[in-house]
Amino acid sequence: MIETQTTLLTWMTFTPLIGVAAIGLLLMARPLLGLSQRAVDHGARLLALLTTLPSLALSYVMWRDFDGAAGGVQFVHHTPWIRAFNIEYFMGVDGLSVTMVMLTALISSVAVIASMPWGIARDDSHHFSRRQVPGYMALLLLLETGMFGVFCALDFFLFYVLWELVLLPMYFLIGIWGGPRREYAAIKFFLYTLAGSVLMLLGMIALYYASEPTTLVDGTAAAHTFNMLKLAEQANRFELMAPILGLPFTKVVWVGMFIAFAIKVPMFPFHTWLPDAHVEAPTPISVLLAGVLLKMGPYGMLRVNYPILPEATLWAQWGVAIFGAINIVYAAFVCMAQKDLKKLIAYSSVSHMGFVLLGMAAFTPQGISGAVYQMWNHGIISPALFLIAGVIYDRAHHREIEGFGGLSKNLPEYTAITGLAFMASLGLPGLNGFISEALVLVGAFPVFKVITIVSASGVIITAAYYLLTMQRVFLGKLNEKYAALRDLNWRERLTLYPLVALMVVLGFYPMPILDLMNPTLHSLVLPFAQRTGLVTGP
């Protein structure tokens, strides 16, 4: 079926792994070469940069060459891997994943740059960017590989392995380099997501055995398959399977998978790991967590639940929408009451990810495109917000919203960037957040009237908590304690400006992203739309 193969995605995914190996070699070579600790640290940082940036470049090539109008899976790398279970190494991107891969490349680069100690006071040796640098960088790169892989994998088993691969580095990155309660946060994150993913494992095995005979890429016969595209083709077959635990097969599998993904989203009531993880994680890790890891949840739903288990997806439509609305409104209310800036941003992530759920559930073109665009936008905005929280934390060593005041007097640039990011996050028209939220709501309204109206009321709450924060931190009389704080340094500019620029550009001109994904997403939801009576004809 697919003739041409390319290793582009493979290179992109595993280049960071080369960095891991290189850092390992560097550590081993250290006694031989008599390198100082400083030299090793710098070497590790350099290697991290040198292996992250090529991935970014490759993702650019991918974006450039991706044919959005054609849709379908592109840049395929497909070869048998483990024949015992008919597992294949199957990488490829379609309109859904291409945006996520680009996001991963971008945010990873930002995170690596944000992990540099430039501009951190020399005496601050406890800063995460100065502690055990080689280990940190190696884990960061490992995480990067996992994230790329999750979005590129089209074999369910491969997907699962890479999905789990993401857990470990995250655990250590939070647990070793995090804040005071890092161990609690790390294990909570780990347990939560593992609990979800084991459910996915069972569901995956069940789907595997339910699949019908097919062939591997090299033509050998296979009794069952993990190939996600083929599983989607066989979607009707799963309806006929014997019940699991006395319940309909597809619904049980769907719910298991959904919970696995919902934990990552994170969906109410599975979200309580997120605030802790974010508060304790060092800034670049929060950036990755919010920017990329959360996207794995809805991505998984759209990659697995939607095409492979369509009947159950239809069945659960209202549930997903209701949980989406709860996410939006409930988390926004929780935001209002937060005292820690990072926790506030974390909860705002929960709230904004609710739009993704709502948009997905509508099965309208606007809803689904809005949902995925919201994933992308949230992937731009919330990293910026976490970087912003990091800036203030690096300077003042706390993040209590009430503890500041009047900072805009001596940090005008920082204030402006923060204001812009806040505005983008609260959905100010003209910035990117608005487009996706509006698309989601517009797309959802014909289907869920009351739910959409309730969700839309989130815009008021969101405005309230952001402005309140703005006012408490930046406006009013300058708190003399912080009169000596300095404005952004070059490292922070290097990470924040690209994100902020994207917020503006993609608010006024979102089509480059929307065009990439529209055909894929619309063909994904069209069957649902037809089934719900939303659309007749093309």
Partner 1 sequence: MESRVLPTNLLAFIPLFPLVGAAINGLFGAHLQRAFGKKAIGLVGVALPWAAFVFAVLAVAQLWREPEGTTLVHRVYGWIGVGFLSVEVAFALDRLSAMMVLVVTFVGSLIHVYSLGYMAEDKAFWRFFSYLNLFLFAMLVLVLADNVLLMFVGWEGVGLCSYLLIGFWYEDLANARAGAKAFVVNRIGDFGFLVGFFILFWGLGGAFTETGYHIGSGYSLAFRDLPALVATAGDKTLWGLDLFTWVGILFFVGATGKSAQIPLYVWLPDAMAGPTPVSALIHAATMVTAGVFLVARMNFLYAHSPLAMTIVAMVGAATALFAATIGVFQYDIKKVLAYSTVSQLGYMFVGVGVGAFWAGAYHLLTHAFFKAALFLGAGSVILAMHHEQDMRKMGGLGKVMPVTRWTYWLACVAISGFPIASGFFSKDEILWQAFNTNALLVPGWLPWLLGFAAAGLTSFYMWRSYFMTFTGPLAKIEGHGHGRGHGHQDAAPREQPAVITGVLVVLAAGAVLASLIGLPMLWTGHAPWLEHFLAPTFAAAEGLPKTFTGHEAHRLEWLLMLASTAVATIGLGLAWWLYRGRDNPVPAQLAARFPGTHRVVFNKYFVDEAYQRSFVWGFMSTSRLSAWFDQHILDALVNLVAALTRLFAALDGLIDAYVVDGMVNTVGNGVRASGRGLRQLQTGRIPQYLAVVVAGAVMLVVLARFIVDVYT
Partner 2 sequence: MPTLESLPHVLPEVALAVTAAALFVLEALWQPRGRARRVGFPLLALGGLLAALLFLVASPSSAEPRFFGGLLTQDPFSTFVRGVAIVATALAVGLALGSPSLPSNRRVEYHGLLVLLALGMCLLSSAGHLLMIYVAIEIVSLTSYLLAGFDDRGGRSAEAGLKYVLFGGVASGVMLFGFSLLFGLFGDLSLSGLGQALAHSTTLSTGAGRWATLLALVFVLAGLGFKIAAVPFHMWCPDVYEGAPTPFTALLSVGPKAAGFAVLLRFGTGLWPELATDAAAATSALPWLLLLGVMSTVTMTVGNLAAIWQDNLKRLLAYSSIAHAGYMLMGVVAGGREGPGAVAVYLAVYLIMNIGAFAVVSAVDRSAHSEDIGVYHGLGRRAPLLALAMAVFLLSLTGLPPTAGFVGKLYLFASLIHHGGFWYVLLAVVGVLNSVVSLYFYARVLRAMFLESAAGEPAPVSLANSAAALAVVLAVPTLALGIFWQPLAAIANFSGSLF
Q: Which two tokens stand for residue 127?
A: 């800063």
CB of residue 241 vs partner 2: minimum separation in angstroms? 9
Q: Which residues contact 502 (CB under 8 A, 6 or more apart)?
A: 380, 432
**Does residue number 239 form part of the binding site for partner 2 (CB under 8 A)?**
no
CB 372 within 8 A of CB 99: yes
Site for partner 2 in 242-301 (CB under 8 A): 242, 244-246
Q: Which of 53, 276, 19 is nearest to 133 (CA)?
A: 19
Residue 238 site contact among partner 2, partner 1, none (CB < 5 to 8 Å, cut-off depends on kind): none
What 3 state SS string does 88-156 have?
EEEEEECHHHHHHHHHHHHHHHHHHHHCCCCCCCCCCCCCHHHCCHHHHHHHHHHHHHHHHHHHHECEH
Q: How far is the CB of 270 from partner 2 (least distance, A)?
A: 14
Please choose, from the candidates 306, 308, 323, 427, the residue with its C-alpha nearest in 3D space to the C-alpha of residue 368: 306
Size of the site for partner 2 (CB under 8 A): 38
User: Is residue 80 helix, strand or coil?
Assistant: strand
Question: Would you count residue 232 as binding partner 2 (CB under 8 A)?
Answer: no
Cα–Cα separations (whole angstroms), residue 230 to 25, 110, 213, 221: 41, 36, 10, 14
Give the DSSP per-residue string, 14-59: HHHHHHHHHHHHHHHHHHHHT--HHHHHHHHHHHHHHHHHHHHHHH
Is residue 322 a contact residue for partner 1 (CB under 8 A)?
no
Residue 125 within binding range of partner 1, rule CB under 8 A: no
Residue 338 makes contact with partner 1 by CB under 8 A: yes
If contact means CB under 5 to 8 A according to the sort of partner, which of partner 1, partner 2, none does residue 245 touch?
partner 2
Q: Is 78 helix (H, G, I), strand (E, B) or coil?
A: strand
CB of 525 to partner 1, least distance (A): 10
Buried b (16+ CB within 10 A) or exposed e, 272-289: ebbbbbbbbbbbbbbbbb
- From partner 1, partner 2, none, which one binds at residue 167 (CB under 5 to 8 Å depending on kind)? partner 2
Q: Is 490 in the site for partner 2 (CB under 8 A)?
A: no
**Residue 527, number of CB atoms within 10 A of its CB:** 17
409 interacts with, out of partner 1, partner 2, none, CB within 5 to 8 A per kind: partner 1
Of 32-40, 182-190, 220-228, 242-250, the segment contacting partner 1 by CB under 8 A is 182-190
The torsion angles phi and psi of 119, rounded to 5 degrees, stand at 85, -5
Is the CB of 186 or the CB of 499 nearer to partner 2? 186
Window 478-497: residues binding partner 1 (CB under 8 A): 478
Site string for partner 1, 257-276 (x = CB under 8 A): ------------x-xxx---
Quick one: which segment of 83-91, 230-238, 312-320, 508-516 binds partner 2 (CB under 8 A)? 83-91
- How is residue 214 annotated by DSSP? E
315 binds partner 1 (CB under 8 A): no
Main-chain dihedrals φ then ψ at residue 91, nearest 5 degrees: -115, 145
Which residues in the 23-42 window bind partner 2 by CB under 8 A?
A: 27
Q: Measured from the CB of residue 135, what is the shortest distance to partner 2 in angstroms?
A: 8
End-to-end CA distance of the chain: 25
Selected range binding partner 2 among 95-103, 106-114, 172-180, 411-419, rule: CB under 8 A: 172-180
Q: Which stretch binds partner 2 (CB under 8 A): 40-48, 71-79, 193-201, 314-322?
A: 193-201
Binding mask 120-149 for partner 2 (x = CB under 8 A): ------------x--x--------------
Distance CA 525, CA 514 (A): 15
Among residues 2, 116, 168, 336, which is the contact residue for partner 2, using CB under 8 A?
168
The entry of partner 2, partner 1, none that residue 156 binds, CB within 5 to 8 Å by partner kind: none
423 binds partner 1 (CB under 8 A): yes
- 3-class secondary structure, 535: coil
| Angle in degrees, 0-180, between the axes of helices 182-210 and 156-177, rounded to the nearest 10 | 170
Among 81, 184, 315, 393, binds partner 1 (CB under 8 A): 184
Q: Could you say which of partner 2, partner 1, none residue 205 binds, taking C-beta under 5 to 8 angstroms by partner kind?
A: partner 2
DSSP 81: E
Residue 121 contacts partner 1 per CB under 8 A: no
Q: For the stretch 107-146, what's the b/e string if a residue is b when 16 or more beta carbons lie within 10 angstroms of its beta carbon?
A: bbbbbbbbbbbebbeeeeeeebbeeebbbbbbbbbbbbbb
Cβ 472 to partner 1 shortest distance, Å: 9
Q: Which of partner 1, partner 2, none lies near 202, with the C-beta cut-off 5 to 8 A by kind?
A: partner 2
Q: Yes or no: say if 383 and 105 are a contact pair by the CB < 8 Å rule.
A: no
Q: Which of residues 434-453 bind partner 1 (CB under 8 A)?
A: 434-435, 438-439, 441-443, 445-446, 449, 452-453
Which residues would be at the binding site for partner 2 (CB under 8 A)?
27, 81-85, 132, 135, 160-161, 164-165, 167-168, 171-172, 175-176, 182-183, 186-187, 190-191, 194-195, 198-199, 201-202, 205-206, 208-209, 242, 244-246
